Amino acid sequence: MLQTYHTEFLTGTIFNWEHLLVSDAFKNIIISSFEWLVQKKKCTINAFVIMPNHIHMLWKISDGFDREDVQGALFSFTAHEFKRHLKTKDAITLQKYSVKSSDRDYQFWEREPMVKECWTQKFFRQKLNYIHFNRCQQHWNLAGSPEEYKWSSAFFYETGIKSSSWLSHFNDY
């Protein structure tokens, strides 16, 4: 059944928590998927961060689309592209994602990504801050400040400078 959705906080984790997303090539695949989803008007994306083994995002599925279909498009496209990249560049790493499953030969994402609906502005802002400060945590130490990390929406929120046409400020709608 198609329905109207609230903004959602989504976390997608790489299979077995492997650090596949360290390489910019894989981050760019995710960014390309975000861009495609927004261009096709399947969703709006308000915030994101790409961590070494997971992604977080605040997004809203567009009216008339099914969450599972849009979410599936994100994870299916990226998995296909990860596999294609690894087949040509790193067959040894590809084997880490080989599974004996009836519906696939490789698995790049953990099943059942975490989705939490943002029913209140307070919850939304809490998740927005979490997304932007996650990479600064001591165990990640990916950047000194949120806006220094390229693979996040923090710079956009800090400066107002929009470097990606597909990213929407939460005040824009």
CATH of the domain at 55: 3.30.70.1290
List of E strands, the chain: 8-13, 43-50, 54-61, 98-101, 104-106, 114-117
Residue 115 lies in a domain: yes
**162 by DSSP, 3-state: which?**
coil
Phi, psi of 155 (to 5 degrees): -60, -40
Residue 166 lies in a domain: yes
**Measured at the alpha carbon of residue 33, what is the angle toward residues 68 and 105, in degrees to the nearest 5?**
65
Residue 37 lies in a domain: yes
Half-sphere exposure of 169 (CA within 13 A, CB side): 11
Residue 20 lies in a domain: yes
| pLDDT given for residue 2 in this prediction | 54
Where do we find the tokens 């989705």?
115
| pLDDT given for residue 4 in this prediction | 74
pLDDT, one tens digit for every residue, the chain (173 residues):
556 788 999 999 999 999 999 999 999 999 999 999 999 999 999 999 999 999 999 999 999 999 999 999 999 999 999 999 999 999 999 999 999 899 999 999 999 999 999 999 999 999 999 999 877 777 777 777 778 889 999 999 999 888 889 999 988 65
| Structural domain boundaries enclosing 122 | 8-172
What is the reported pTM? 0.93
**Measured at the alpha carbon of residue 86, what is the angle toward residues 93 and 88, in degrees to the nearest 5?**
125
How many angstroms separate the Cα of 150 from the Cα of each of 21, 45, 115?
Answer: 13, 16, 24
| pLDDT given for residue 40 in this prediction | 97
Phi, psi of 8 (to 5 degrees): -125, 145
Number of domains the chain is built from: 1
Side chain identity, residue 7: T
Residue 165 lies in a domain: yes
Residue 2 lies in a domain: no
> How does 59-70 read in b/e, with b if 16+ C-beta sit within 10 Å?
bbbbeebebeeb
| pLDDT given for residue 172 in this prediction | 63
Residue 1 lies in a domain: no
Residue 56 lies in a domain: yes
Q: Is the CB of residue 48 less than 8 Å from the CB of residue 169?
A: no
